[in-house]
A and B are shown apart, each in its own frame.
Chain A
Amino acid sequence: MTAAAGTGGRTGVEVRLEDLRRRYAGVTALDGLNLTMAPGELVALLGPSGCGKTTALRLLAGLEEADGGRVVIAGEDVTNVPANKREIGMVFQAYSLFPHMTAMQNVEFGMQLHDVGAAERRKRAGDMLELVGLSAHVHKYANQLSGGQQQRVALARALAIEPKVLLLDEPLSALDARVRARLRDEIRRVQLEVGTTTLFVTHDQEEALAIADRVGVMNAGRIEQLGPPTTIYSRPATPFVAEFVGLTNRLAGTVKGGEVEVRGTRLPLVKPDTADGPAIALVRPEAVTMAADGDIIPGPMVGTVIATVFLGATSRVTVDLGDITVLAQLPTSDATSLTAGTRVRLAMRRDPVLIARDEKASTEA
Chain B
Amino acid sequence: MKLRIFRVVTLIAAGAFFLVPIGAMFEFSTRGVGENSPRTLANWKAILDFPELVGPLTPNSSGIIASLELAAITSIATLVVLVPTMVWVRLRLPRLRRVIESISLLPLTIPAIVLVVGFWPMYQWMGINFNDSILTLTFAYIILVLPYAYRALDAGLAAIDVKTLSEAARSLGAGWPTVMWRVIVPNISSALLNASLLSVALVLGEYTIANNLLYPNLQVEIVSLARTNAGVSIAVAVASLLFAFGLLVGLSFVGSGPRRQRARVRERLVQTFGRDLSGGTR
Residues of chain A at the chain B interface (Cβ within 8 Å): 61, 63, 82-90, 92, 94-96, 98-100, 109-110, 113-114, 154, 157-158, 161, 167
**One of B173, B174, B186 near A100 (C-beta < 8 A):** B186
Number of A-B contacts (CB under 8 A): 64
**One of B164, B173, B174, B182 near A92 (C-beta < 8 A):** B164
User: Could you tell me if A158 and B171 are in contact, using CB atoms closer than 8 angstroms?
Assistant: yes
Chain B, Cβ-Cβ closest to A83: B170
Residues of chain B at the chain A interface (Cβ within 8 Å): 160-161, 164-165, 167-175, 178, 182-183, 186-187
User: Could you tell me if B174 and A84 are in contact, using CB atoms closer than 8 angstroms?
Assistant: yes
Q: Report Cα–Cα, A89/B170, bound state, in Å.
A: 10
**One of B161, B171, B186 near A83 (C-beta < 8 A):** B171
Contacts of A157 in B (CB 8 A): 168, 172
User: Could you tell me if A96 and B164 are in contact, using CB atoms closer than 8 angstroms?
Assistant: yes
With A98-B183, A98-B187, A100-B186: A61-B164 Cβ-Cβ less than 8 Å: no
**One of A95, A113, A161 near B178 (C-beta < 8 A):** A113
Q: What is the minimal beta-carbon distance from A16 to any residue of chain B, in angstroms? A: 19
Chain A, Cβ-Cβ closest to B171: A90
With A96-B164, A96-B165, A113-B178: A88-B187 Cβ-Cβ less than 8 Å: no
Q: Report Cα–Cα, A86/B160, bound state, in Å.
A: 25
Q: What is the minimal beta-carbon distance from B155 to any residue of chain A, in angstroms? A: 16
Contacts of A84 in B (CB 8 A): 170-175
Chain B, Cβ-Cβ closest to A1: B173
With A90-B167, A92-B168: A113-B187 Cβ-Cβ less than 8 Å: no
Q: Report Cα–Cα, A158/B172, bound state, in Å.
A: 7
User: Could you tell me if A96 and B168 are in contact, using CB atoms closer than 8 angstroms?
Assistant: yes
Those 5 A-B pairs whose CB atoms lie nearest each other, nearest first: A110-B172, A113-B173, A90-B171, A96-B168, A83-B170
Contacts of A161 in B (CB 8 A): 172-173
User: Could you tell me if B167 and A92 are in contact, using CB atoms closer than 8 angstroms?
Assistant: yes
Contacts of A90 in B (CB 8 A): 167-168, 171
User: Could you tell me if A99 and B187 are in contact, using CB atoms closer than 8 angstroms?
Assistant: yes
Contacts of B174 in A (CB 8 A): 84, 113
Q: What is the minimal beta-carbon distance from A20 to any residue of chain B, in angstroms? A: 18
Chain B, Cβ-Cβ closest to A92: B164
Q: Report Cα–Cα, A83/B183, bound state, in Å.
A: 16
User: Could you tell me if A98 and B171 are in contact, using CB atoms closer than 8 angstroms?
Assistant: no
Q: What is the minimal beta-carbon distance from B254 to any residue of chain A, in angstroms? A: 16
User: Could you tell me if B172 and A63 are in contact, using CB atoms closer than 8 angstroms?
Assistant: no
Contacts of A158 in B (CB 8 A): 171-172
Most A C-beta atoms less than 10 A away, residue of B169, B173, B175: B173
Contacts of A110 in B (CB 8 A): 172-173
Contacts of B168 in A (CB 8 A): 90, 92, 96, 98, 154, 157
With A94-B161, A98-B183, A100-B186: A109-B172 Cβ-Cβ less than 8 Å: yes
